Amino acid sequence: MDFSTYFLMDEVAVAQYAREKIDKFNGNQLSVTEIGDGNLNYVFRVSDGEQSVIIKHSGVTARISDEFVLSTDRTIREGRLIEAHSRYVPDQLPEIISIDLVMKCVVMEDLKDYAILRTALQQGDICPHLGKSLGHYLSETLIRTSDFVLPAKEKKSLQKEMINPELCEITEDLVYTEPFYNNFSRNEISSELELFVEKYIYGDASLKAAVAQAKLKFLNKAESLIHGDLHSGSIFIKKDGLKVIDPEFGFFGPAGYDVGNVIAHLFFAYANAQASGREEQAIWLKSVVDEILATFREEALTILTENTYDIALRDTALFAAFITEIERDAYIVAGLELIRRIVGLAKVSDITQLHAERVNTEKKLLTFAKFLIQHPDKVRIYSSLFKIYEAGEEQVA
């Protein structure tokens, strides 16, 4: 086999590739398993019995469907984005071993000692460092890639490399348009939820006006190098740390996108814990969200204060306003993410696993999501986002 021209590798090809290309395997016999569970790419675990690596590889179409044609360069961009963020939080990302521009694959550290956050949470795990770790990840990656800290020319050069029109288009459609318009009839709603969605989502013109503003921001606000898909399936955790994977949707976009995304998925986890009677975990999950926001604000302010390189931007009031706007964007994005995962086609198992409580949970989350999108400025009146969630329809008054 020849790896000088691209082809879609299977397990046999990956074994030979790894034997030839990865030094640490020294030409040893290797076992390869495809472990991908995502929609788009192939993820291979390669092992010689002692050491192992992960090879993420992209095809010209999506893993789930040949109808989705996407540039194979997405994996290259993902590898580079991980490298870019690793400048700030090396411990919170997988180590990148190599990036192959020809074979369109990234060789990275195997996170076999970690668990996927969504799975761990559904099993009832409590992970005390989670809020602080995520707040730290968010402030470091988002603030240090903003115009305050990253020199303008460096930012623009990275921006050029990270431009991501195809995957952004997926977000633009699946997060910002289809859940509200169902223009391709791709939304998936149970019959019990249908009337509710028709009335309160499709039928709410003022909600759609707020979404329009948010969409415009997603399209034109090149604020920070964002992950772009920071859900609980993209976060690996263990007792004393976490690692973030799969920033395939990343680009220079609104910083609040990542913050809001992860908060939405913690609400799904909370709803799952509550509906499944895991009280203690539910209480802990509330504190995680509060801690993410508090840590983010505190660390963001420190980074801005200590690292703003441009004297003309060194203004305490500007720092505070910048962070407040990210938080505001985050509330809106959290609302959008909740809606798109309930109404749109890409569901989360935290919700689909539920039985009797599913519809009521969905309605409660949708009501909360609408509040976040329409009244982001009212959030600070409440001491915690959960107060708004628990208040249900009362909050709108």
Residue nearest to ligand ADP (CB): 38
For 217-236, the DSSP string reads: HHHH---EEE-S---TTSEE
Cα 171 from Cα 340, distance rounded (Å) = 10
Phi-psi region of 228 (alpha: psi -120 to 50; beta: other; left: phi over 0): left
Residue 40 is a binding residue for ligand ADP (CB under 6 A): yes
From the CB of 114, what's the least distance to Mg ion, in Å?
15
Query: Which CB sits closer to ligand ADP, 167 or 207?
Result: 167
Cα 152 from Cα 302, distance rounded (Å) = 20
Is there a contact between 269 and 283 (Cβ–Cβ < 8 Å)?
Answer: no
Residue 246 is a binding residue for Mg ion (CB under 5 A): yes
Name the residue among 224, 229, 216, 299 with its Cα closest to residue 261.
Answer: 229
Residue 116 is a binding residue for ligand ADP (CB under 6 A): yes
Tokens of 205: 């013109």
Residue 350 is a binding residue for ligand ADP (CB under 6 A): no
Query: According to CB under 6 A, which one of 14, 22, 43, 266 is a site residue for ligand ADP?
Result: 43
Cα 70 from Cα 42, distance rounded (Å) = 14
Binding site partner of 54, from Mg ion, ligand ADP, none, Cβ cut-off 5-8 A by kind: ligand ADP
Residue 348 is a binding residue for ligand ADP (CB under 6 A): no
Is there a contact between 254 and 228 (Cβ–Cβ < 8 Å)?
Answer: no
Residues 90-109 that bind ligand ADP (CB under 6 A): 94, 108-109
Query: According to CB under 6 A, which one of 21, 38, 174, 290 is a site residue for ligand ADP?
Result: 38
Q: Among 47-55, 74-82, 83-91, 246-254, which window interacts with Mg ion (CB under 5 A)?
A: 246-254
Q: Among 23-31, 34-42, 152-160, 296-304, which window interacts with ligand ADP (CB under 6 A)?
A: 34-42
Name the residue among 90, 96, 53 with its Cα closest to residue 77.
Answer: 96
Residue holding tokens 């893993």? Answer: 63
Residue 241 is a binding residue for ligand ADP (CB under 6 A): no
Q: Among 80-88, 240-248, 289-297, 336-344, which window interacts with ligand ADP (CB under 6 A)?
A: 240-248
Residue 248 is a binding residue for ligand ADP (CB under 6 A): yes
Cα 269 from Cα 289, distance rounded (Å) = 11
Residue 385 is a binding residue for ligand ADP (CB under 6 A): no
Q: Among 40-48, 159-167, 306-314, 339-347, which window interacts with ligand ADP (CB under 6 A)?
A: 40-48
Residue 303 host element (H or E): helix 279-307
Tokens of 63: 């893993």
Q: Among 17-25, 32-40, 205-213, 350-358, which window interacts with ligand ADP (CB under 6 A)?
A: 32-40
From the CB of 155, what's the least distance to ligand ADP, in Å?
26
Residue 38 is a binding residue for Mg ion (CB under 5 A): yes
Residue 291 is a binding residue for Mg ion (CB under 5 A): no
Binding site partner of 37, from Mg ion, ligand ADP, none, Cβ cut-off 5-8 A by kind: ligand ADP
Tell me the sheet residues that pair with 206: none
Tokens of 3: 């790896």
What is the DSSP secondary structure assignment for residue 93, as one 8-state letter? S
Query: Which CB sits closer to Mg ion, 246 or 291?
Result: 246
# residues near ligand ADP by CB under 6 A: 20
Query: Which CB sits closer to Mg ion, 149 or 230?
Result: 230
Residue nearest to Mg ion (CB): 38
Phi-psi region of 16 (alpha: psi -120 to 50; beta: other; left: phi over 0): alpha
Binding site partner of 175, from Mg ion, ligand ADP, none, Cβ cut-off 5-8 A by kind: none
Query: Which CB sits closer to ligand ADP, 94 or 344?
Result: 94
Query: Which CB sits closer to Mg ion, 84 or 235?
Result: 235
For 238-252, the DSSP string reads: ETTEEEE---TT-EE
From the CB of 317, what's the least distance to Mg ion, in Å?
39
Query: According to CB under 6 A, which one of 48, 110, 223, 362 is a site residue for ligand ADP?
Result: 110
Q: What angle do CA 80, 147, 249 make, to 5 degrees?
A: 35
Name the residue among 155, 345, 329, 324 with its Cα closest to residue 258.
Answer: 329
The packing angle between helices 316-343 and 279-307, to 10°, is 140
Burial (0-12, 13-18, 19+ Cβ within 10 Å), 352: exposed
Q: Report the interface residues with ligand ADP, using CB under 6 A.
A: 35-38, 40-41, 43, 54, 56, 94, 108-112, 116, 233, 245-246, 248
